[in-house]
Amino acid sequence: MPALEGSQEALVERIPVTYEFSIPEGQRPERVDVWLARMLPHASRTKVQRAIEAGAVTVNGSVPKPSYKVRPGDHIVCTLFRLPPIELVPEPLPLEILYEDDALLVINKPAGMPTHPGIGHRRGTVVNAVLYHLGVRQPIQVQTDVEDELEDEGAIFASDAVRPGIVHRLDKDTSGLLLITKDSALHAVLAEQFAQRRIQREYWGIVWGHMPERHGIIDAPIGRSPRNRKAFAVVPSGKPARTEYWVLEEYPIASLVRFRLHTGRTHQIRVHCAWLGHPLLGDPLYGGDSPRGATTDPRWRQCARRCLELLPRQALHARTLGFFHPITRQWREFEAPLPADMAGVLEELRATARATGLQHRESGQPDAPPAEVSPPVARYE
């Protein structure tokens, strides 16, 4: 089977569909890639060209060049890969439920568990677990028209058949608090709170090095990375993104930082920290999977290696979540302690600090600056 597009992971998820055409009399000469892009549903010219390069298009039994001109009597066979039917399967997976009523759930998601199905993980997600928890036992078929090179995960949840509703998402390897609704109307109410920035979300993360200020704001637009289609970056054409932070603990090699989101862009904290030159410890996508910063003390270099061994994922945890209940209108706020892997990294940093005689400030909520004092802003120019 030819490798047509994307990664090997994408091929596993996709199914081949073969089209055959016989060119009729009267067909004017036209490039085969242009002709196929016009004849095939949801197929771009680029997608057709990649299929030709992979040997998945033949004209009269031979693989043509994209510039080949079709003519009457030609027999064309083209194979493209498409998304298989999407099916949400209830699964009896453990959930740490911090709150539940007839309207919603608040869970503490573990690192490594995707929020919802996508390429490479159709099972084992929060959605699969919540469906089972709510008594659903039969798979739910989801219709989607997505035909792009990479699956648009948001399109999976465009169907009204999908319940419960994911109000917001966490990256697979980010742990912490997640809000889920049981009713589509309430989903819209909570989504509006997110849009109006009335929901409070705070994260704790461990970054390499030292942030520019003890308390600051990162104001820099985020969009798709021009270098890596799976990543995001600070780019002029990006959407506005604003992250406030407070440094809780600081060590020669790393810092524990509290983040508050003022916008909700994909990978926002991870991108902003990497842009400042202080990626989250353990984050392989944004340069945090190797030690940053220089230290002459071998004990701190050893500490950095041990921290990466303890935490083979980005050191980010959604610790606080606050919102107005969509039915009672009362403010509800939840907090989830750091998971064992991040707590282990902090203890490693603290132990090395004690061994080297370093004084450090204990963890805790820092005092906010006076209201009339604005925090320094790391702004995109």
- Per residue in 73-113, pLDDT (tens digit) is 999 999 987 766 678 899 999 999 999 999 999 999 999 99
- Asked if pLDDT for residue 156 goes beyond 60, the answer is no
Cα 353–354–358 angle (5° rounding)? 55
CATH of 197-364+371-381, one of 3.40.50.2300, 3.90.1150.10, 3.30.470.20, 3.30.2350.10: 3.30.2350.10
pLDDT by residue (tens digit) across 257-287?
999 999 989 999 999 999 999 999 999 999 9
CA 241 to chain centre: 16
**What is the per-residue pLDDT for 142?**
72
Whether residue 42 contacts residue 94, with contact meaning beta carbons closer than 8 Å, is answered with: no
SS3 per-residue string spanning the chain? CCCCCCCHHHHHHCEEEEEEEECCCCCCCEEHHHHHHHHCCCCCHHHHHHHHHCCCEEECCECCCCCCEECCCCEEEEEEEECCCEEECCCCCCCCEEEECCCEEEEEECCCCCCCCECCECCCCHHHHHHHHCCCCCCEEECCCCCCCCCCHHHHCCCCCCCCEECCCCCCCCEEEEEEECCHHHHHHHHHHHHCCCCEEEEEEEEECCCCCCEEEEECCEEECCCCCCCEEECCCCECCEEEEEEEEECCCEEEEEEEECCCCCCHHHHHHHHHCCCECCCCCCCCCCCCCCCCCHHHHHHHHHHHHHCCCCCEEEEEEEEECCCCCCEEEEECCCCHHHHHHHHHHHHHHHHCCCCCCCCCCCCCCCCCCCCCEEECC
Q: For 16-38, write each residue's pLDDT tens digit.
A: 889 999 999 999 999 999 999 99
For the chain, the average pLDDT equals: 85
**In the chain, ranges of CATH 3.30.2350.10 domains:** 85-196, 197-364+371-381
Q: For residue 14, what pLDDT band results from cuts at 50, 70 and 90? A: low
Start-to-end C-alpha separation, the chain: 48
Q: What percent of the chain has pLDDT over 70?
A: 83
115 or 320, higher pLDDT: 320
Report the distance separating Cα 193 and Cα 128, nearest Å: 25
Could you confirm whether domain 8-82 is CATH 3.10.290.10?
A: yes
Mean pLDDT, rounded, for 298-306: 94
Query: Is residue 171 annotated as a catalytic residue, yes or no?
Result: yes
Q: For domain 85-196, is the CATH number 3.30.2350.10? A: yes
The whole-angstrom distance between residue 318's C-alpha and the CA centroid of its chain comes to: 14
Quote the percentage of the chain above a pLDDT of 90: 64
- Euclidean distance between CA atoms 326 and 191, whole angstroms: 10
C-alpha–C-alpha distance, residues 131 and 138, integer Å: 9
pLDDT, tens digit, 9 for 90 and up, residues 335-371: 999 999 999 999 999 999 999 987 554 444 444 444 4
State how far the Cα of 300 lies from the Cα of 292, in Å rounded to an integer: 11
Annotated active-site residue in 74, 101, 160, 171: 171
Give the residue range(s) of CATH 3.10.290.10 domains in the chain.
8-82
Model pLDDT, residue 363: 43
* Range in 207-211, 216-220, 224-228 the model is least confident about: 224-228
**Is the per-residue pLDDT at 375 higher than 80?**
no
Higher pLDDT, 358 or 241: 241
Q: Is the pLDDT of residue 11 over 60?
A: no
Q: What's residue 195's pLDDT?
A: 81
The answer on pLDDT for 151 being more than 90 is no
